[in-house]
Structure 1
Amino acid sequence: MESITGGKSRYHHGDLRNALIEAAVGLAVEGGPERVVLREAARSVGVSPTAAYRHFTGQGDLLEAVKIRGQQALADSMTEAVRVLPGLDDPGEEAVRRTEAIGRGYVRFAIEHPGLYRTAFCRTPLAEGSGFTGLDAPEDRPEFAAFVQLSDTLDTLVAAGRMRPENRPAAEVAAWSAVHGLSLLILDGPLAHLPADQRDAVVERTLTTIVAGLTR
């Protein structure tokens, strides 16, 4: 888990705010958003709660920072899934494979890092004022990187001629809902009991069905 949490170590000097966030990410990995406690993060890096409160106004502030890290890690998983794809000469087919890949990276992140995944989608007081409606996300905000990546990928499908322009509006919501719902069924629903090979087959079948719907 070091690739996400950065490992656990006591704080010595430098950027205390970042050290507290890293510790809190580790807590989220262990037990989801409920485990993200400012005092616990302070204890983990070896500073007093008073020192921690100099960098965070309270629990919600820290949780929002961890939520953003979780969203960034989710986007990284999606990016990596695309990166390992073989190159194709057909732009349309490449766009299809890319769309399937980002869904694969999304679900894989949920399976491998369930605590951080749940934290990435938890509700926080700061998130309530973000202005994000689920349709248009600011491209310069890291907490929306995964959504922007999905939107860009769907635009590529249209540009490559594999998706009709009239089907594009709000298509990211349909695709997002499908992979998010699948992820939760795997984490907390009956699909949690599937053997890994059957689970992976369900994931692939779902992704091909999603893309088939987008490109019909």
Structure 2
Amino acid sequence: MTTNGPSAEKHPAQRRRPRGAVREGLVAAGVEMARTGGPDAVVLREATRIVGVVPNAAYRHFADRDELLAEVCLAAMRELAGRMAAGVARVEGERGDPVAARLRLYAIGVAYLEFAREQPGLFATAFSLPQQHGYDMPGTEPGPPRTPLGQLRAALDELVDAGVLDEGRRDGIEYPIWSAVHGLAVLAGQGPLRDLPAPAREHLENLTMAFLDHGIGSVDQPAE
């Protein structure tokens, strides 16, 4: 016998969800679509289908698909930042130790390249809306730097404190370093180097990081 009264169980798509849960679900769905297909795969209607809400429900949270994509960009950047932070955390050594400082910069670059290699869809998505996406992620909680750019800057500041990088060369040096690592990630991911076998790609990654480390400067300072 079918029950039509108020006690009847609703279909999952008909159950009322907390407002925040719907928004978070749509973003999570967008992240998974981006993970498998890049930014072009992020579709608002498909996100509502995955979450199990009617299509119009999405417009209570996002004006259009670009607003959802902007949130997915931010989530992808946070995942990249998390990988970088984890790599830095694995390096032993006190702040100010020249060897540890260099290894932390190396860990940042390696994590960046690994993310681009292992998560090409999210990597492409993270940089797909530069006009809407603040790479410094304002509004994050205080404490250690949590953004990719913030972590790179912190590593370079430590290199100055450790006497590896001359303070006079510090201003703005994060941008050529970022450009070199990001450029290799793009060339090897979707550019002319995309068909390189894994050992050759790993060799190029090591060469790039060694080149940057050499360019930072020597631990040994010239005698006065």
TM exceeding 0.5: yes
Q: CA RMSD in A?
A: 2.2
Amino acid at match of 1:118: A
Match of 2:61 in 1: 55
Is the alpha carbon distance of 1:162 and 1:125 closer, same or farther for their aligned partners in structure 2, counting shifts above 3 Å? closer
Q: Do the aligned partners of 2:27 and 2:72 also contact (CA within 8 Å) in 1?
A: yes
Q: Do the aligned partners of 2:95 and 2:101 also contact (CA within 8 Å) in 1?
A: no
Q: Do the aligned partners of 1:60 and 1:126 also contact (CA within 8 Å) in 2?
A: no
Deviation of 1:140 after TM superposition, in Å, equals 3.7
Q: Do the aligned partners of 2:96 and 2:158 also contact (CA within 8 Å) in 1?
A: no
Query: The residue matched to 2:147 in structure 1 has which SS?
Result: helix
Match of 1:191 in 2: 193
Q: Do the aligned partners of 1:81 and 1:105 also contact (CA within 8 Å) in 2?
A: yes
Cα separation, 1, equivalents of 2:95 and 2:61: 50
Amino acid at match of 2:124: R
Match of 1:5 in 2: none
Amino acid at match of 1:109: F
Q: Do the aligned partners of 2:73 and 2:125 also contact (CA within 8 Å) in 1?
A: yes
1:18-57 alignment, distance < 5 Å = 18-57=24-63
Deviation of 1:125 after TM superposition, in Å, equals 5.3
Deviation of 1:77 after TM superposition, in Å, equals 1.1
Is the alpha carbon distance of 1:53 and 1:90 closer, same or farther for their aligned partners in structure 2, counting shifts above 3 Å? closer
| Aligned pair partner of 2:103 in 97, 112, 119 | 97
Amino acid at match of 2:153: S
Cα separation, 1, equivalents of 2:132 and 2:166: 37
Q: Do the aligned partners of 2:156 and 2:174 also contact (CA within 8 Å) in 1?
A: yes
Deviation of 1:205 after TM superposition, in Å, equals 1.4
Deviations 1:135-181 (A, max 9, x none): xx466448x71110111110010011100001101111011000000
Deviation of 1:38 after TM superposition, in Å, equals 0.7
Is the alpha carbon distance of 1:149 and 1:139 closer, same or farther for their aligned partners in structure 2, counting shifts above 3 Å? farther
Cα separation, 1, equivalents of 2:67 and 2:163: 44
Is the alpha carbon distance of 1:190 and 1:168 closer, same or farther for their aligned partners in structure 2, counting shifts above 3 Å? same
Q: Do the aligned partners of 2:152 and 2:174 also contact (CA within 8 Å) in 1?
A: yes
Q: TM-score, normalised by structure 2?
A: 0.82
Cα separation, 1, equivalents of 2:128 and 2:208: 24
Q: Do the aligned partners of 1:64 and 1:124 also contact (CA within 8 Å) in 2?
A: no
The aligned length equals 199
Match of 2:7 in 1: none
Deviation of 1:84 after TM superposition, in Å, equals 2.6
Deviation of 1:86 after TM superposition, in Å, equals 4.1
Cα separation, 2, equivalents of 1:212 and 1:139: 32
Is the alpha carbon distance of 1:51 and 1:139 closer, same or farther for their aligned partners in structure 2, counting shifts above 3 Å? closer
1:24-173 alignment, distance < 5 Å = 24-87=30-93, 91-123=97-129, 126-127=132-133, 130=134, 137=136, 140-141=139-140, 145-173=147-175
Runs of at least 5 residues in structure 1 that lack an aligned partner in the other structure: 1-9
Which has the larger displacement, 193-202 or 55-64?
Answer: 193-202
Deviations 1:30-73 (A, max 9, x none): 11111111111111111111011111111111011000001101
Cα separation, 2, equivalents of 1:167 and 1:148: 18
| Larger Rg over CA atoms | 2
Cα separation, 2, equivalents of 1:63 and 1:99: 30
Amino acid at match of 1:106: Y
Q: Do the aligned partners of 1:60 and 1:124 also contact (CA within 8 Å) in 2?
A: no
